[in-house]
């Protein structure tokens, strides 16, 4: 474990005992302490309640003393269990000796960290290690009970973690970087398709926990580096994949390392995005979650566009916008502040609004940023708003987006018309208009896969898309449509490529060659 000292993290299990992690893993699997086993045992409502940091339903569902019930109470609900009972299904001596368990009261043991079963994309049984009470929900999680969270606390899997894991392009690569690794969840995913994984964090406790997550999940160890942003990397180190779910929260002061970047406003997110450009190999992807400010008198799209480093294509999707009050409340609750002293809560809330006022921030955008290093003379930056549900995982959709972009970039209108296209799978047409009206007011094409986009088209666009099965060139299809509707084929060929480009860009049509 390069550069990670046990002295700073005395209460964590030893990261230098892989043989104990392997034994523990075997015992956990034998007891069905897996994502599926957990869901079966708890049932969907109690399972979902845990994600909201509500433990009562799970406690009620684990009142028996089967191995699985005992493990859930130990590793997810911070309940001590009888030493003798635990010894029947866990290597309890080795676990106590190496620090996974600690003696608790007469004849009982307690877990020193949370361990959450986590299912990988191909059915892998993984485990995410985190600080006690932080396997689910935020730092205001179950073990905190309203106490102030420790600045160095390491959280487990949150919605943001799984979102980033889902949008990440998963093609085999040589070198991947997980910046701000936390529990190690992104590094664990990357270890499945990257030969080498480097994981960095400002918080040494996070690196220690990442080593535990990887070992307990049976994944190869990562190269762990302590430090801020790109600082732990040598000048010549570049990657094929960079992922980061950075501490993106825009807050008045650096209080919690896992979420408060500690730079002013959205500067930390900007630094991560800008810094990634020179760390990417050609064709390599960098994917981030980020928050950005909506500042009075400024177009948010211009702000975020200005972050894109030179030599990179970018696809930026704003998924949500919150006004400053919603935003402050979200993160106050995340830290459990709402359960503490009311005067403190109000003072913190006030400070948050002061900060936004000083920066002229009206709202905060949340979204995904994907960069791809390109040799193209004119990189393409797409910024859009898509707040609607999507179909995760989206990694292949992201890859296909950039492939279509390459196609459009290298095909002028004449080449586009000479090309053939295919309607993407599961695209349907919807007609929108008043009930009973003879003609629809407009026609919408809707995707049922990937981004699940919907876009308005005119009758030519709808007819064109419907005929695209990869057999006829776009120009031939337009000529046929022109004849059908009695329009001049030359003018139709002239005005339609823009619409075809949009349909290709958005994934309704795919180049057939
Ligand atoms: C939101 S957590 C993400 C954890 C994990 N990667 C995930 O996806 O769940 C952000 C992580 O960034 C780390 N961090 C905070 N400031 C940092 C910095 N300046 N440089 C590198 N890592 C930082 C925090 O310690 C924390 O582990």
Q: Is residue 224 part of a domain?
A: no
Which element (helix H / strand E) includes 159?
helix 159-167
* pLDDT at residue 139, rounded to an integer: 57
Which element (helix H / strand E) includes 186?
helix 185-190
Domain extent, residue 452, equals: 411-511
User: Which of these, 102, 261, 251, 295, lies nearest to 179 by C-alpha position?
Assistant: 261
Q: Is residue 494 part of a domain?
A: yes
* pLDDT at residue 298, rounded to an integer: 98
* pLDDT at residue 148, rounded to an integer: 45
Minimum-distance ligand 1 atom for the alpha carbon of 261: 16
| Alpha carbon nearest to ligand 1 atom 18, residue | 228
User: Which of these, 75, 69, 79, lies nearest to 41 by C-alpha position?
Assistant: 69
CB of 185 closer than 6 angstroms to any ligand 1 atom: yes
Cα–Cα separations (whole angstroms), residue 180 to 186, 210, 285: 9, 10, 17
Q: Is residue 484 part of a domain?
A: yes
Q: Is residue 492 part of a domain?
A: yes
Side-by-side strand order, sheet with 442-447 = 427-432, 442-447, 454-457
| Alpha carbon nearest to ligand 1 atom 26, residue | 258
* pLDDT at residue 422, rounded to an integer: 98
Are residues 368 and 316 in contact, defined by beta-carbon separation less than 8 angstroms?
yes
CB of 130 closer than 6 angstroms to any ligand 1 atom: no
Total Cβ atoms within 10 A of residue 480: 15
CB of 53 closer than 6 angstroms to any ligand 1 atom: no
Q: Looking at the DSSP assignment, which residues form a beta bridge with residue 244? A: 288
Q: Is residue 489 part of a domain?
A: yes
CB of 291 closer than 6 angstroms to any ligand 1 atom: no
Among 180, 222, 242, 366, the mutation site with the greatest number of ligand 1 atoms within 8 A of its Cβ is 180
Cα dihedral sign, 467-473-478-479: negative
Residue-by-residue DSSP string for 41-86? HH-HHHHHHHHTT--HHHHHHT-S-SHHHHHHHHHTS---EEHHHH
CATH of the domain at 457: 3.90.930
Q: What is the pTM of this model?
A: 0.94
Compute, in angstroms, the gap from residue 203 CA to the centroid of ligand 1: 8
SS3 of residue 291 by DSSP: strand
Backbone angles phi, psi at 27, to 5 degrees: -70, -40
Q: How many domains does the chain have?
A: 1
For 58-103, write each residue's pLDDT tens digit: 999 999 999 999 999 999 999 999 999 999 999 999 999 999 999 9
Q: What's the mean pLDDT when you consider all of the chain?
A: 93
Distance in angstroms (rounded) separating the CA atoms of residues 89 and 96: 14
Compute, in angstroms, the gap from residue 433 CA to the centroid of ligand 1: 48
| Alpha carbon nearest to ligand 1 atom 24, residue | 258
Q: Is residue 389 part of a domain?
A: no
Distance in angstroms (rounded) separating the CA atoms of residues 513 and 505: 16
Cβ neighbours of residue 302 under 8 Å, at least 6 residues apart? none
* pLDDT at residue 137, rounded to an integer: 62
CB of 258 closer than 6 angstroms to any ligand 1 atom: yes
CB of 228 closer than 6 angstroms to any ligand 1 atom: yes
Q: Which two tokens stand for residue 146?
A: 């309203």
SS3 of residue 168 by DSSP: coil
User: Which of these, 72, 83, 78, 79, lies nearest to 106 by C-alpha position?
Assistant: 83
Q: Looking at the DSSP assignment, which residues form a beta bridge with residue 370? A: 287, 315
| Alpha carbon nearest to ligand 1 atom 17, residue | 202
| Geometric angle at alpha carbon 483, from 477 and 486, rounded to 5° | 130
Q: Is residue 468 part of a domain?
A: yes
Q: Is residue 2 part of a domain?
A: no
Q: Which residues of the chain have pLDDT under 50?
A: 1-10, 142-148
């Amino acid at each position: 474990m390069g550069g990670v000292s046990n002295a700073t993290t005395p209460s964590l299990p030893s990261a230098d005992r892989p043989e104990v992690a392997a034994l523990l893993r075997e015992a956990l699997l034998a007891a069905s302490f897996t994502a599926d086993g957990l869901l079966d045992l708890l049932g969907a409502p109690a399972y979902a309640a845990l994600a909201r940091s509500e433990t009562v339903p799970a406690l009620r569902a684990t009142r028996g003393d089967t191995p699985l019930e005992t493990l859930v109470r130990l590793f997810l609900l911070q309940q001590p269990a009888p030493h003798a009972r635990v010894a029947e299904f866990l290597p309890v001596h080795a676990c106590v000796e190496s620090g996974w368990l600690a003696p608790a009261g007469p004849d009982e043991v307690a877990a020193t960290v949370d361990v959450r079963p986590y299912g990988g994309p191909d059915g892998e049984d993984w485990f995410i290690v985190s600080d006690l009470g932080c396997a689910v929900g935020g730092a205001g999680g179950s073990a905190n009970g309203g106490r102030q969270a420790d600045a160095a606390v390491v959280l487990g899997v949150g919605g943001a973690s799984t979102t980033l894991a889902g949008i990440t392009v998963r093609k085999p690569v040589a070198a991947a970087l997980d910046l701000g690794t936390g529990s190690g969840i992104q590094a664990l995913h990357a270890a499945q398709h990257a030969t080498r994984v480097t994981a960095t964090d400002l918080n040494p406790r996070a690196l220690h926990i990442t080593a535990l997550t990887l070992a307990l999940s049976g994944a190869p160890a990562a190269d762990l580096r302590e430090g801020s942003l790109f600082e732990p990397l040598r000048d010549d180190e570049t990657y094929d994949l960079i992922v980061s779910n950075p501490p993106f929260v825009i807050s008045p002061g650096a209080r919690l390392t896992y979420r408060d970047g500690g730079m002013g406003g959205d500067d930390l997110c900007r630094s991560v995005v800008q810094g990634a450009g020179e760390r990417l190999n050609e064709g390599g992807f960098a994917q981030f979650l980020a928050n950005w400010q909506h500042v009075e008198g400024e177009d948010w799209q211009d702000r975020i566009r200005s972050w894109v480093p030179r030599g990179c294509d970018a696809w930026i999707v704003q998924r949500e916008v919150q006004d400053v009050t919603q935003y402050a409340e979200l993160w106050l609750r995340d830290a459990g502040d709402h359960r503490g002293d009311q005067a403190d809560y109000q003072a913190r809330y006030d400070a948050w609004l002061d900060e936004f006022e000083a920066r002229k921030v009206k709202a905060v955008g949340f979204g995904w940023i994907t960069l791809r290093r390109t040799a193209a003379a004119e990189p393409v930056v797409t910024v859009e708003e898509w707040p609607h549900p999507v179909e995760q995982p989206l990694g292949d959709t992201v890859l296909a987006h950039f492939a279509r972009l390459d196609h459009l970039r290298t095909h002028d209108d004449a080449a586009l018309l000479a090309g053939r296209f295919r309607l993407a799978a599961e695209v349907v047409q919807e007609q929108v208009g008043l009930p009973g009206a003879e003609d629809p007011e407009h026609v919408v094409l809707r995707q049922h896969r990937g981004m699940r986009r919907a876009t308005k088209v005119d009758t030519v666009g709808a007819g064109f898309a419907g005929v695209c099965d990869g057999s006829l060139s776009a120009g031939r299809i337009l000529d046929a449509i022109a004849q059908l509707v009695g329009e001049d084929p030359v003018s139709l060929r002239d005005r339609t490529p823009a619409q075809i480009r949009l349909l290709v860009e958005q994934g309704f049509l795919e180049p057939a060659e």
